[in-house]
Amino acid sequence: MRAYLARAWQGLLAGLALAGCAVMFAMMLVIVADVALRNIPLPGLPRGLAWSNEVSELMLFLTTMLVAPWLLRQGQHIRVDIVLQALPSRLAWQLEWVGDTIGLAACLFMAWYGTRAAWASWSDGALMIKTLVTPEWWWLAPLPLTFVLLSIEMVLRMRRLAAGARAPRQDAVSAA
């Protein structure tokens, strides 16, 4: 059962990362279409896509939200580890725990805060009024979902740290 759950978790994170890639590709198509329409006059078509900047912003945000848990799982998130690599192994391992504990607390806080913000936005019927008019909670909803997934992955990281060698992690190390 544990192996099944591990494979399912890996599959979920990989699927989200793939979805993030698809969103990034779609964003590229929107930007290319906007630039082409602004520079190549075609009868019957608009001169650019007025909504492209706004949609591109949302797509960039969604890409980040979709890919973040997978990046954390792979150890490919932003990590400054040069000090950890220079310290004695046991101390570096203990500092990994400090970092993971702070990371977990931050993820749990963001999940809680994001949930409150999205719920308040939905309850109030708040709108984002730009070129497009959209419910604000559409923009906020991915935030708590992503940070719940990041919280789960932080717990799994801590579990892997406890089971591993008493040394700093070696994934994505910049100074080995």
Which tokens in the block code for residue 127? 């709108």
State yes or no: pLDDT of 176 exceeds 50: no
Per-residue confidence (pLDDT) for residue 173, from 0 to 100: 54
CA angle 53, 64, 19 (to 5 degrees): 95
Q: What SS3 class is residue 164? A: coil
29, 48, 74 - which closes a domain: 74
Mean of pLDDT values over 123-135: 93
Mean of pLDDT values over 15-39: 96
54, 74, 94 - which closes a domain: 74
74, 91, 115 - which closes a domain: 74
How far, in Å, CA of 104 to CA of 91, rounded? 20
Residues 87 and 20 in one domain: no
Mean of pLDDT values over 114-131: 95
Per cent of the chain over pLDDT 90 is: 78
Residues 65 and 121 in one domain: no
Residues 33 and 95 in one domain: no
Q: Which domain holds residue 9?
A: 1-74
Residues 120 and 158 in one domain: yes
Residues 133 and 175 in one domain: yes
Count of domains forming the chain: 2
DSSP letters along 108-136, please?
HHHHHHHHHHHHHHHHHT-EEESSSEEEH
Per-residue confidence (pLDDT) for residue 172, from 0 to 100: 57
State yes or no: pLDDT of 12 exceeds 80: yes
Cβ burial, residue 31 (10 Å; 0-12/13-18/19+)? middle
Residues 30 and 117 in one domain: no
Residues 68 and 96 in one domain: no
Contact 154, 104 (CB under 8 A): yes
The angle, 0 to 180 degrees and rounded to 10, between the axes of the packed helices 142-163 and 52-74 is: 20
Reported as a single tens digit per residue, the pLDDT across 40-92 is 988 888 888 999 999 999 999 999 999 999 999 988 877 777 888 889 999 99
Mean predicted lDDT score pLDDT of the chain: 92
Residues 102 and 158 in one domain: yes
